[in-house]
Amino acid sequence: MKYEELYALLRRRGVLWPTAEIYGGAQGLYDYGPAGTLVKRLLEEAWAAWFVGLSDDFYRIDATDILPEAVVRASGHLENFTDPGVTCAKCGNHFRAETILEQFRPEGVDGLSPAQIGELLKQYPVRCPQCGSNEMSVPRPFNLMFGFDFGAAGGEKAYLRPETAQSSYLAFSRMWDVGRRALPLGIAVIGKAYRNEIAPRQVLFRMRAFTQAELQIFFNPAAFPLPFASVAEEQLPVLRVARRAAGEETPEPRSARSLADEGLPEFYVFFLVHMYRFFRDVLRYPADAIRLFEKSDTERAFYNRIQFDFEVKLESLGGYKELGAVHYRGDYDLSRHSAGSGKDLSVAVSGGERLLPHVLETTFGVDRNVWALADLGLVIDGERTVWRLPPYLAPSVVGVFPLMKKEHTTEARRWQARLRDSGIEAEFDSSGSIGRRYARMDELGVPYCITVDRESLGAPSLEARTVTLRDRDTKQQERVTLDALIVRLRASRVAPRPIPLNAVE
């Protein structure tokens, strides 16, 4: 679907809409409605089951999204978390330098100084997208954090965190004591991050408040025990810097082993494989829509030693979009916070030696992936619109319908209650024809529907009775008992999980 068509459908079905819509909205802020809330929550749970499930020593924490000033000073965000902005001298509108220069310089402006960007503005026939004027101001750095007074006394400042990662770094010392006091140690956060984007756009793609799911793995680079052999033959769709330089845009299949042979650390490739499997096997994105896009020295943040973005081709946004990444951040983060807090964050490793752990980060944009699930999953199939969500990501797993409102409602409510007693969410719907009800459930991605009819009332006990079960994707119908239904629904609701590292021989 095209962008406008998809966004309109999502608004209409209550998946998401602009925050404070009755006030005309607030730029870069969106709210999720009932279906969106459930999909987002299940996506977070599937992410946690997969990434936190990768090791017994990976933990999930829930940290506040406000950071004291000392933290963002130490992390470098106070000084460096800026985006070059451009102002039109005529109409006064603000734009990201990257956006203004996009058509002339598709590779972006990451890593360029404001002065260099100023040169580009002169070099190209840049015009204001609002008023058409060519009087674009010299770029100024604009800090993207929301900062405010904290406390009653005045003089104290705090910031909304610009990335969830900082919360994991702050927790490292405490988690070292709570866990096994051994590396690798993983600390995951799913939560809000905030950026005062100069030009929010594309709904869930550049928001001012968004949800990240990030895992920070603290490790000893000299000894990261991994069952690399178990992933060595996996083929990854990779676009490395050298091929990009040759003008290639499509990825080539590369085995994990061959990437390691080329010099990427085994621990890095191992997590590339696991993130790729998450996209392909859990989210069920088409393998041929995914590419692992290596960022060059100048494109990645200076503290990232290696970075591959996970990009997925989305029709609604006209091409590949970044939905996640794996970053090797070295010991940058803990060394900054050791210095900033005055607390030595090094830990004892084998032989009494002390080491400042390195960090491998897997990052994942929750909102962006809700959008991607809609873009890739919502298909028009003749008259009907179907959201082909994996059943464990669907807002509800089963719709429960009485065939005739009068005759079958009581029995249908009984089925709903029995399913709920078994921990299975069941959506009741008695309005309109069965066809209309199927259509509503299809559009929301509900994978199964059951209909209670006259035949359902035949047997003496509910256990002996049957209902019609209809499958969203095959449209096949069959009669099932409650027990068989529960088994089927439960199995469909379990997202795939990896084997924990600790359990691999």
Tokens coding 261: 């042979």
* The residue type at 184: P
- Applying CB under 8 A, among 3, 9, 105, 146 the residue interacting with a second copy is 146
* Residue 389 to residue 40: CA distance in whole angstroms: 12
The yes or no reply on residue 175 touching a second copy (CB under 8 A) is yes
Q: At closest approach, how far in Å is the CB of 67 from a second copy?
A: 7
- If one asks whether residue 185 binds a second copy (CB under 8 A), the answer comes out as no
For the segment 416-475, give every residue that binds a second copy (CB under 8 A): 416-417, 420-423, 428, 431
Residue 233 CA: distances (Å) to CA of 139, 253, 259, 260, 283: 47, 11, 11, 11, 21
Q: Is 228 in the site for a second copy (CB under 8 A)?
A: no
Is residue 174 a contact residue for a second copy (CB under 8 A)?
Answer: yes
Q: Which of residues 32-91 bind a second copy (CB under 8 A)?
A: 32-34, 36-38, 40-41, 53, 56, 59-68, 70-71, 85
The DSSP 8-state label assigned to residue 283 in this structure reads S
Please tell me whether the peptide bond between 395 and the residue prior to it is cis, using omega within 30 degrees of 0.
no
Which of these, 140, 142, 137, lies nearest to 196 by C-alpha position?
142
- To the nearest whole angstrom, how small is the minimum distance from the Cβ of residue 175 to a second copy? 7
9 contacts a second copy (rule: CB under 8 A): no
| Nearer of residues 41 and 257 to a second copy, judged by Cβ | 41
Question: Of the two residues 142 and 293, which places its CB atom closer to a second copy in the complex?
Answer: 142
89 Cα distance to chain centroid: 37
Do 389 and 35 form a contact (C-beta atoms < 8 A)? no
- Part of the chain binding a second copy (CB under 8 A), chosen from 271-279, 458-466, 471-479, 495-503: 495-503
Q: Which two tokens stand for residue 6?
A: 């998809």
The two structure tokens encoding residue 412: 């249908």
Any idea which residue has 């897997």 for tokens? Answer: 362
CA distance 398 to 255: 40
Distance CA 284, CA 150 (A): 44
Kindly tell me which of 306 and 450 has the beta carbon lying closer to a second copy. Answer: 450
Q: Angle formed by the axes of helices 366-377 and 3-12, to 10°?
A: 100
Give the distance from CA 473 to its chain's centroid: 25
Nearer to a second copy, 34 or 227 (CB): 34
Q: Judged by CB under 8 A, which of 4, 106, 153, 474 binds a second copy?
A: 153
**Residue of 208, 327, 336, 472 interacting with a second copy (CB under 8 A):** 208
Taking Cα atoms as reference points, which of 54, 35, 86 lies closest to residue 425?
A: 35
Pick between residue 306 and residue 393 the one whose CB is nearest to a second copy: 393
Q: Residue 216 interacts with a second copy (CB under 8 A)?
A: no
Under a CB-based contact definition with an 8 Å cutoff, are residues 21 and 465 in contact? no
Q: Which of 165, 199, 264, 441 binds a second copy (CB under 8 A)?
A: 199
> Of the ranges 140-148, 219-227, 306-314, 456-464, which one interacts with a second copy (CB under 8 A)?
140-148
Smallest distance from a second copy to CB 73, Å: 10
Q: How far is the CB of 376 from a second copy (least distance, A)?
A: 21
254 binds a second copy (CB under 8 A): no
Distance (Å, rounded) from C-alpha 401 to C-alpha 468? 10
Minimum separation from the CB atom of position 492 to a second copy (A): 10
Return the DSSP state at 229.
Answer: G
Question: Site size for a second copy, by CB under 8 A?
Answer: 91
Residue placing its CB nearer to a second copy in the complex, 171 or 439? 171
- Least gap, CB of 257 to a second copy (angstroms): 26
Question: Among 3, 230, 340, 462, which residue interacts with a second copy (rule: CB under 8 A)?
Answer: 340
CB under 8 Å to 242, separation ≥6 — which residues? none
Site map (CB under 8 A) of a second copy, residues 99-138, x = contact: ----------------------------------------
Residue 86, classed as helix, strand or coil, is strand
